[in-house]
Amino acid sequence: MNNSELIPVSALNTYVYCSRRFYLEHNRGMFEDNPHTIEGRTAHRVVDDRSKEGKEINKNDVIHRRSVYFSSENFGIIGKLDLLEEKENEIYPVEYKKGKAPNKNYAPWLNDQIQLCAQALLMQENGLKLPDKAYLYYVGSKKRVEIQITENLILETHRVIAACRLIAKSDVLPPLAENRNKCFGCSLNAICLPEEEETLKGKKINAKVIIPMSLDGDILYVDHIGAYVSLSDGNIKITKPESDDIVTASLEKVREIIICGPVQATTQVIHECLKKNIPIHYMNFHGKQLGVSTPFFNYHGILREAQWKAHFDDKICLDLAKITVSSKMANMKTLMMRYTRDERTEDDVDFFDKIKNLNKKIDPVKDMDSLRGYEGMAARIYFECFERYIKLDKRAFFYFKERNRRPPKDPVNALLSFGYSMLVKDCIGAAIRVGFDPFCGYYHSMKYGRPSLSLDVMEFFRQPIVDSVVLSSINNGIFKDKDFHQYQGVCYLNEKGRKKFLIQYEMRKKDLVTHPKFHYRMSYERTIELQYRLLGKFLLNDIDEYQGFYIR
């Protein structure tokens, strides 16, 4: 048995909390932080002093050894003991916990007792005497609680070890936690999606919201030529050349940094962002993504394995692609209907019908080329009438005859192109966050530099997010001709125009939308992430059904 097959004693704690959580973390390598896990890590920093690791410290005849590793092939477990204390010829483990000690009328959680008992068993397996007591130290109240290592606790710990070893060898997803209140505090709830799973399995109609409706933190855009991004007292400091202007942003409140064009970021900023799992996206001024710095893909290997398997399965790819194209067409039609709500002509109705009829042809499609053909037809119809949704008095400058790109030739196409680039960037970010490889898709073919999966997932978000932002900001008079840079038949947003667009775009991402299947309200940016999570559950066979995202 090698070390990777041994079960960490902390995982026994996880199993007692919820067997599914143990499976997701241990078997599938999935992990997410939430305030509880961060608080737990912070609590351990008190005792995890690297300089004291393994060293013996003798103070007032009490000997301390910190971060002591033990393993047992016999039991199949491994563990790091926070603190091994020796006092009056007795040696026992002390486990650090976040939060406050329980009231004296209540016993500590069973999962914590099991973890401590497993540490005691490891001591015995490694030649020390089995202690008859051990301690939990609660950082929040700076208080120790004694745990008796009784026969019953040892028996229960052996039962838990055996159950964990069984699950570790299995590929069957355990059931959801019986006590569903646990899901609210569980850091894996956005991966496990218990409410959504039960809704998709038809066990309930409305899913309770147990995952946050919006993503925490802000996105920091830096697109001023020559700007310098550095660290100062743990905050981001941005200085502009030939200017005394200094902008600061708290790193704790930043979720992502977007650097556009020639902006310098120091190595300290990059290191700190890598440590804090804050991606830095590098883009050119036209919104083309050049790269992103993120920590290594530590987790979610099994998800990527499932993704690659699906990529090579023609049937799965075609099924997923049909779902994608069908919901994209439905969203095109819904957006068209929204913009003609007050005044609808026969031509408008004719356009809706054409898209609706094309959508009906998707289901029987047998190959990807035919599907792409129908998608192309729908896009032509959609963009043929796109100008109709721009107010008449705006059309002199914001005219639209056809979709053109690379480079865009007119202001509307410049806005659409920049918006789609931002959406690709967000879809790549969400793919990485969830654990997918953004370059391995099912509909867009594989091509050097093409983030196929992110392009697949963004298809049905183009209309409600980007097209909607472009149309509403033009109609509301947000953009003026001076926001664009036009030369030799090419048109781009200038710095001022980009700033205006990004404000509108970020506001749209935060707008709440009712989810078509789960009926709860959630921000668009969170919905993009949820879509990846559901795709992951489908590819891992946790759910039988995958759906696109529909607006109403």
What residues make contact with ligand SF4 under the rule CB under 6 A? 18, 20-21, 24, 176-177, 182-183, 186, 188-189, 192, 194
CB of 115 to ligand SF4, least distance (A): 17
CB of 17 to ligand SF4, least distance (A): 7
Choose between 211 and 222: whose C-beta lies nearer to ligand SF4. 211
CB of 18 to ligand SF4, least distance (A): 3
Cα separation, 67 vs 65, whole angstroms: 7
Choose between 535 and 551: whose C-beta lies nearer to ligand SF4. 535
| The residue to which tokens 């092939």 are assigned | 73
Choose between 120 and 192: whose C-beta lies nearer to ligand SF4. 192
CB of 74 to ligand SF4, least distance (A): 29
Choose between 195 and 223: whose C-beta lies nearer to ligand SF4. 195
Q: Are 464 and 331 in contact (CB under 8 A)?
A: yes
Beta-bridge partners for 237: 230, 248
CB of 183 to ligand SF4, least distance (A): 3
Q: Are 378 and 332 in contact (CB under 8 A)?
A: yes
Kindly give the pairing relationship between strand 218-222 and strand 490-493.
unpaired
CB of 177 to ligand SF4, least distance (A): 4
DSSP-H helix ranges across 437-547: 452-458, 468-475, 495-510, 524-539
Kindly give the pairing relationship between strand 228-232 and strand 264-265.
parallel
SS3 of residue 507 by DSSP = helix
Cα separation, 172 vs 179, whole angstroms: 20
Q: Are 351 and 385 in contact (CB under 8 A)?
A: yes
Choose between 386 and 538: whose C-beta lies nearer to ligand SF4. 538
Tokens of 136: 């939990």
Cα distances from 80 to residues 65, 168, 170, 339, 495, in angstroms, run: 11, 20, 25, 61, 53
What is the secondary structure of 91-122 as a DSSP string? EEEEEEESSPPPPTTSPPPHHHHHHHHHHHHH
CB of 171 to ligand SF4, least distance (A): 17
Q: Which of 311, 306, 192 is nearest to 539 (CA)?
A: 306
Choose between 31 and 550: whose C-beta lies nearer to ligand SF4. 31
Choose between 151 and 178: whose C-beta lies nearer to ligand SF4. 178
CB of 26 to ligand SF4, least distance (A): 12
SS3 of residue 520 by DSSP = coil
Choose between 24 and 323: whose C-beta lies nearer to ligand SF4. 24
Q: Are 329 and 358 in contact (CB under 8 A)?
A: yes
Choose between 18 and 116: whose C-beta lies nearer to ligand SF4. 18
CB of 172 to ligand SF4, least distance (A): 15
Cα separation, 491 vs 399, whole angstroms: 13
Choose between 18 and 78: whose C-beta lies nearer to ligand SF4. 18
Q: Are 130 and 36 in contact (CB under 8 A)?
A: no
Q: How far apart are the first and last CA of the chain?
A: 55
CB of 201 to ligand SF4, least distance (A): 14
